Amino acid sequence: MLRKTLPSAFIEENRTYDSTHDSSSIEEEEEEEILALIEEGRKLAVFDKDNNTLNLLFCCAGIYTAYLIYGTLQEDVFTYNSDNITGAGSVAFTYIWFVQVVEAFTNTITGYIGLQMTKTKEERNKPKPKPNQKFFFLSGFSQVLSKALTSLSLNSGLSFPLATMAKSGKMAPVMAGQLVLSGARYNMREYAQVSAIIAGTALLGLSKAKGGNGMAHSSTLGVVFILASLVMDGITGGLQKRLKVESQDVGHSLKGYEFMFYTNMYMFWVALSVANLNGDLVNGFIYCLEDSHICMLILKFCVCSAVGQSFIFYTIASFDPLVCSTITTTRKIVSVFVSIFYKGHVMTNQAWFGVFLACLGILSEVQDKVGTGRGKNLGELKKIKGSSLH
């Protein structure tokens, strides 16, 4: 009844006010919801950042712990002498391929378990096409050869610090090969980095100080083996790149544990064949039966290898290969100093200068890679932002 007595103009004005009031209330509510979402997003971003930091620390701790122990055990195993062998005096452990068999077998089992655990439901129901086994075999063959040659260099009298620094200079043969074969160009910094690593390694190798247990830092045969190992590293890198391309062409994206399983499987069969042919398999097994200490060293060495590889693949999956490369490269520097102090390598001033020069080259290479990686990521981000504006 009251509505009938009110003027129509008043009713229309009141209706306009009500609709305006309702609209502003809705806008305020939406604004509050948006602000709440933004605040929640900030909390999640901080949480995610903290999670990433903790995850990175976890990866660093895993890789450093596994491979620092691995390095000391590697030095112990391949410079081992036993007084417990029946009918002999002090007998050196020289059965390199026996260790390669046990290590590759351990890594194959670990890779298979990891592969099965990380499979998705879709992959279990509809298996992906198998990757090219030819390149897995060739990659496994060159990789086990590289590892065996590194072990032979230590067994032949090359000190662990020298072998580790030499392996850090693997960029040198890669650069030389690309300069000759593909006409690639490098800047002065890259030449300086490689030169520093080579010069530092040479200074340590030519120093007159003795390594741990009175061993010289260098030996001619040891140098030959480590150089051959570097060549195999270059071949392995090329084969693995080709393998990734071949797999992508057939629509197959290789996972870390898949790479670990197939590569180590072929490494195992190659090592087993060589160990059978040269007698390392039987002789190494007998040596371990007569000296339980070397047996435990080899088992620990293989477990560290499997754990270290698992952490490497986990790091690559969680972050990217550049982060993993940075961690593993800096770990090698720490391994050198751990060996020098823990194993009692006697160092001259020339040897120390060589170590620091090589480490400077290695760290410069790491910093260069990190800077390049950040530049690429920034470029991609700018492209994304640019495309979103259009």
Task: State residue 381's pLDDT score.
Answer: 41
Task: State residue 251's pLDDT score.
Answer: 66
Domain, as residue range, for 229: 66-369
Cβ–Cβ < 8 Å for 260, 107: yes
Task: State residue 125's pLDDT score.
Answer: 72
The angle formed by the CA atoms of residues 365, 257 and 109, to the nearest 5 degrees, is: 120
Structure tokens at 103: 């290590």
Q: What tens digit of pLDDT does each residue of 248-270 get?
A: 766 666 777 888 888 899 999 99
Task: State residue 194's pLDDT score.
Answer: 78
Torsion, Cα 43 47 53 58, to 10 degrees, reads: 180
Task: State residue 102's pLDDT score.
Answer: 95
Q: Write the CA distances from 343 to 211, 215, 266, 338, integer angstroms.
A: 8, 11, 34, 8
Residue 153 lies in a domain: yes
Q: How far apart are CA 67 and CA 75, in angstroms?
A: 12
Task: State residue 361's pLDDT score.
Answer: 81
Task: State residue 8's pLDDT score.
Answer: 52
Q: How far apart are CA 8 and CA 50, in angstroms?
A: 63
The angle formed by the CA atoms of residues 120, 61 and 56, to the nearest 5 degrees, is: 55
Region at 383 (left for phi over 0; alpha for psi -120 to 50; beta for the rest): alpha
Residue 61 lies in a domain: no
| pTM: predicted TM-score of the whole model, two decimal places | 0.71
Task: State residue 32's pLDDT score.
Answer: 58
Residue 148 lies in a domain: yes
Q: How far apart are CA 151 and CA 156, in angstroms?
A: 9
Q: Within the chain, which residues score under 50 in pLDDT? A: 1-6, 10-11, 13, 16-17, 19-21, 23, 43-48, 213-215, 377-378, 380-390
Task: State residue 148's pLDDT score.
Answer: 93
Task: State residue 321's pLDDT score.
Answer: 62
Q: Write the CA distances from 178 to 146, 153, 171, 175, 184, integer angstroms.
A: 20, 26, 10, 5, 6
Task: State residue 10's pLDDT score.
Answer: 45
Task: State residue 378's pLDDT score.
Answer: 47
Q: How far apart are CA 242 and CA 162, in angstroms?
A: 31
Task: State residue 329's pLDDT score.
Answer: 75
Residue 326 lies in a domain: yes
Phi, psi torsion values for 346, nearest 5 degrees: -85, 125
Cβ–Cβ < 8 Å for 264, 140: yes
Number of domains in the chain: 1
Q: What tens digit of pLDDT does each residue of 141-191 get?
A: 998 999 999 999 988 888 888 888 888 776 676 666 556 655 667 778 778
Residue 44 lies in a domain: no
Residue 352 lies in a domain: yes
H helices of the chain, in order, are: 2-5, 8-77, 96-117, 121-125, 133-155, 160-168, 171-181, 188-206, 220-249, 256-278, 280-290, 292-318, 321-342, 349-389
Residue 31 lies in a domain: no
Structure tokens at 366: 């790491």
Task: State residue 373's pLDDT score.
Answer: 52
The angle formed by the CA atoms of residues 230, 277 and 235, to the nearest 5 degrees, is: 20
Residue 35 lies in a domain: no
